[in-house]
A and B are shown apart, each in its own frame.
Chain A
């Protein structure tokens, strides 16, 4: 299997699907340059640059999906979905229910997310919890190239609207574009195994809502998505010499949530730390705590999340986002 980047995996999976299904179209600002390879291969009708009008083109993608296309609509960053929230919240997510199950919107929304390169709090959010709050939306957050390509096929095959979130620290293209800008005078804490990895020659979808256990351990379980997964793996590595064996679970999607995998791990280890780059309040970490309580599982619980508006200053940004030392402190805290 060849080694590929996170971006190449998504592009390869998309190209494979687009070659098979002429209903798949890509819409978004600057896609003629950002997705130039697909633009050249599939032409301007299927890779269509939009004006800066998110409310219109995300809304139009929903109804285009209702009328037979399979749109992949891109926004520059998940933060900007605020402008188009209505299309997802009140339209895409409600359609199946409102139509008595007779109508679907098979739509994929691609949104870069996450911080760690000093772009300020309007350009660094994760927000998967915000979208997962809404019944009727799938929210996938891949943490490596193999999952990213496979989950893109999953999203394309699914009959419902799916938000596909790409962390900018995993994406060489986005990080190069927004963070590095051709400089070698700045550096980033990029998880190597997340940005590059193995990819198959022929892509197969993964089941939606199935977590992956990336490391075994009986003493506690660290649960995360996206870049957080890699921070957890690093933390688990550092806990090992102290005799603490940590399991690491990559949820891969926030909605649907793999409650079974979460409950099994919590039952077995009795200790759970959720590492969530998204906001702490009313989010993934609270949801997991509720799932455990509802299942009558007695486990010690901790969470490492983003509690505040993300600072621009990189030192304070780094301290605000979940990092390895915060995970270690929390993990050691619930061991005692």
Chain B
């Protein structure tokens, strides 16, 4: 029997679990336990919980480089994720994949670090769902930067003409690494989605209840065989593009970073044989705006999904504390097991 109303305390618990797990991942990465790049889904918790917690057996997911929250919420053990990030043989993928290449065949979940790849993957999962498991669906998670990738737009079209049961989920923070996406994207996303024949839904990506409601509509459509949707949610990434993001480092320690960058920028601004003074000033302005945007913004602002959910739930503080204590204990135990084993 499908729910008709979101169970906020349940969603809250899942979001908190994801938050605390990823904060632990952040600390372990910082301490050198986890190598390479690390993209977190901090800030995307409500989008993930509001959709993933409504999935059923047989539903599939195609994830991007921020796959940790959806996998956790889909029931993958945090131990196996953390061990994967640490490269352990008993990690989710035997330590062979790492955080951008996470695969869970039992949950029909695949990931890719290739921007836009979630589109075709979700279309293929949708095709298999349509033919083999009617009533099941597939999801594609991607950022707004990915909507200019050809393969994603081709997948929109494929899903539309074949009426595939696919939800294309766009997590929009208007920043792709250091490029403001609205400066490189033509038209409006709503028009683009509708132009491909996708149903378009939008909601506040920090409001898990609002996400749950539009996802409920899109999921019903897809399960009925009425075809694909484009779900558009705004969100923020408080840790930037990835851990160690230079823009975030500048925001936190302006002195150190700027001291390194400034001399060469100034030299470039005055070197002979280049653009006009006006153009050079234009470039400097672009760079300083980008830095300022990160530095000045109160990053969470109204965009913290957990804070928003707490307000809505109106649980008494003791209940909140009990949830927090239980989740914290779970995550601490996960970290202790993984670090002791290594």
Contact = CB atoms under 8 A, between A and B. Distances in A.
A43 B276 contact: yes
Interface string A203-244: 000000000000000000000000000000000000000000
B243 A181 contact: yes
Interface residues of A, number: 56
A60 B318 CA distance: 60
Among A40, A45, A180, max chain B CB count under 10 A is at A40
Contacts of B88: 313
A118 interface: yes
B100 A120 contact: yes
Interface residues of B, number: 65
B179 A30 contact: yes
Interface stretch (A49-57, A62-70, A191-199, A283-291): A49-57
A43 B36 contact: no
Interface string A14-56: 0100111000000001101110111111111111011111111
A40 B288 CA distance: 11
A83 interface: yes
Residue with the highest number of chain A CB atoms closer than 10 Å, among B35, B89, B97: B35
Nearest to B96: A311
B268 A38 contact: yes
A44 B279 contact: yes
Interface in B179-224: 179, 181, 183-185
Contact of A178 (B36, B84, B93, B261): B36
B113 interface: yes
B101 A122 contact: yes
A33 B95 contact: no
Nearest to A184: B32
Nearest to B32: A185
A34 B112 CA distance: 24
A43 B274 contact: yes
A256 interface: no
B273 interface: yes
Given A33-B290, A120-B98, A43 B244 contact: no
A118 B272 CA distance: 41
A159 interface: no
B149 A42 contact: no
A44 B30 contact: no
A271 interface: no
B275 interface: yes
Given A177-B246, A185-B30, A313-B95, A40 B36 contact: no
A70 B72 CA distance: 48
Interface string B24-68: 000001111001111000000000000000000000000000000
B97 A43 contact: no
Contacts of A114: none
Contact of A183 (B30, B101, B276, B286): B30
B95 A40 contact: no
A312 B98 CA distance: 6
Contact of A122 (B114, B274, B284): B114
Contacts of B297: none
Given A32-B287, A83-B114, A181-B244, A37 B265 contact: yes
A107 B265 CA distance: 27
Given A32-B178, A39-B287, A55-B150, A119 B98 contact: yes
A33 B178 contact: yes
Contact of A40 (B31, B84, B269): B269
A299 B282 CA distance: 60
B259 interface: no
B145 interface: yes
Interface string A114-131: 000111111100000000
A50 B184 CA distance: 7
A101 interface: no
A315 interface: yes
- Could you say which of B84, B101, B261 has the most chain A C-beta atoms within 10 Å of its C-beta? B101
A45 B244 contact: no
A52 B35 contact: no
Closest 4 CB pairs of A and B: A181-B244, A118-B35, A185-B32, A313-B87
Interface of B: 29-32, 35-38, 84, 87-89, 93, 95-101, 112-116, 145-146, 148-151, 176-179, 181, 183-185, 242-246, 249, 261, 264-265, 267-269, 271-276, 279-280, 282-284, 286-287, 290
Interface of A: 15, 18-20, 29-30, 32-34, 36-47, 49-56, 79-80, 82-83, 117-123, 177-183, 185-186, 309, 311-316
26 contacts: A19-B272, A33-B178, A33-B290, A36-B283, A40-B265, A41-B271, A43-B275, A43-B279, A49-B179, A53-B150, A118-B35, A118-B87, A121-B101, A123-B36, A179-B35, A181-B29, A181-B37, A181-B243, A182-B246, A183-B30, A185-B32, A309-B96, A312-B101, A313-B88, A313-B89, A316-B95
